Structure formats: C-alpha cells, structure tokens
Amino acid sequence: MSIFTTNPIISLTTIPINTKQPICRKYKGFLPNITPAIYSLSSTISAPREYALVYINGQNFTPNNLSVTFGTITDVPIVFYSSFTISFVVPLYVSEGTYGIQVVANNNNTLMSGLLYSNIVDYTIQNYSVTGSYSISDNTIYNTIITFTGNGTILFYNSFNIIWDITGDSTISVNGQVLSNGTYFSLINTVYSVTLGTGSITLFFNV
C-alpha cells in the first residue's frame, strides 16, 4: 500500500468542476400599488347647511396633490394625518340626496403619472330619517307633514320648529319623556319613538 495520499489541490486541477446552474432565480419587476382606497367614513350622513367634518380611513394617501370629489363637486380640500387617514369638510350648500365620495390623487412621479381614483362610498345629506309606517304630504303652510300609520321613530339631523298633533292613547317619547300636543324645537341626533295606539300622530314642520 502506498504511503502517499492524493493531493486534493492537484485533484481539483485535473477534474473539471461544473459551475453552471441549470436553474437560475428569476426576478419579475412590478409597480407598487399607489392607488388610494377608501375603507370607511367616520360618518355617512349629515344635515344640509350644517358644518360636518368627515374622516376617511383607507390607504395610499399622500400629503400633496390629493383631494376629494363629493358628488359632482371636485377638488374638495383634505387634511392629511397619515397614509391611512385624511379628513374633509362636507360642502355646505348641497341639497338633500346621496352623493358619492371619492379620493383623487394627482400622481406626478416617474413610475405612474396621471389621476388615480379610489373606490366610491356613499354619503347622505338629509334633514331627518323616519322608520315604521307613515305617509308624507304638505300643504300651503307646512312643506313637511308626516302622518304615522304605525309604530316608528324619527331622528332629526337639524333643528326645526315642529308641531305634534297627538290623539287618543298614542304617545311620542324622547329621552324618557312623553310629549303632549304642542310646538317644540327638534333635538338633533335624538330618536323620537312613536307608539301608535288607537289614536293618531301627525307631525308638522318646514325644512
């Protein structure tokens, strides 16, 4: 038996090593998602001609070149808090109705330029909301007459001079108090509960 061992360095020089990899890692380029998105609004309803500050929760918001579209009203200014939160003030002189809220970014970087639009979330402008069974009419004195034909509720988003006409054992309760016939100023964001017994309940006011 030989007392010499094979020199590993010499062996490497005589045996070729395959340095080619049959499979190479491939990288696929992509553009980051910078389109604004709306997740939720801090409120979705307010009264016309009343100051309302609305927070928008979402993503991809920027402090510059960002605005809100409110229905057909464009370029509503925003206040930037973070890439996830901004706010805007609801335009004062809009009538009752439902409006689409959309965030618009005027993007001017080299990756993607132009306007970027978020999804649309509905926002409602109205003076009050009613549940239950009722009918609405008007006359020459009052432009809103609500006649309840069953139990229900009414919630005011603005203050009005309202008149309750209550007959029989029907009742109107608010904040634990039962109202009687007469004239009142409506309480804002407070639920009035209508219980229609064998009598009747009619509400008169002007919006």
DSSP reduced 3-state for 188: strand
Residue type, 10: I
Which range of residues forms the domain containing residue 200?
128-205
The answer on 190 and 113 residing in a single domain is no
Question: Which position has the token pair 């988003």?
Answer: 157
C-alpha span between 41 and 99 (Å, rounded): 13
The answer on 113 and 52 residing in a single domain is yes
CATH of the domain at 41: 2.60.40.10
C-alpha span between 186 and 161 (Å, rounded): 6
Question: Which position has the token pair 């609801």?
Answer: 90
User: Could you tell me if 70 and 77 are in contact, meaning their C-beta atoms sit under 8 angstroms apart?
Assistant: no
Label the pairing between strands 37-41 and 53-59: antiparallel
Residue-by-residue pLDDT tens, the chain, 207 positions:
555 555 555 555 555 666 666 565 665 555 677 899 999 999 999 999 889 999 999 999 999 899 999 999 999 999 999 999 999 999 999 999 999 999 999 877 655 668 899 999 999 999 999 999 999 999 999 999 999 999 999 999 999 999 999 999 999 999 999 999 999 999 999 999 999 989 999 999 999
The residue count for the chain:
207
pTM of the model: 0.74
The answer on 169 and 113 residing in a single domain is no
Q: Is residue 21 part of a domain?
A: no
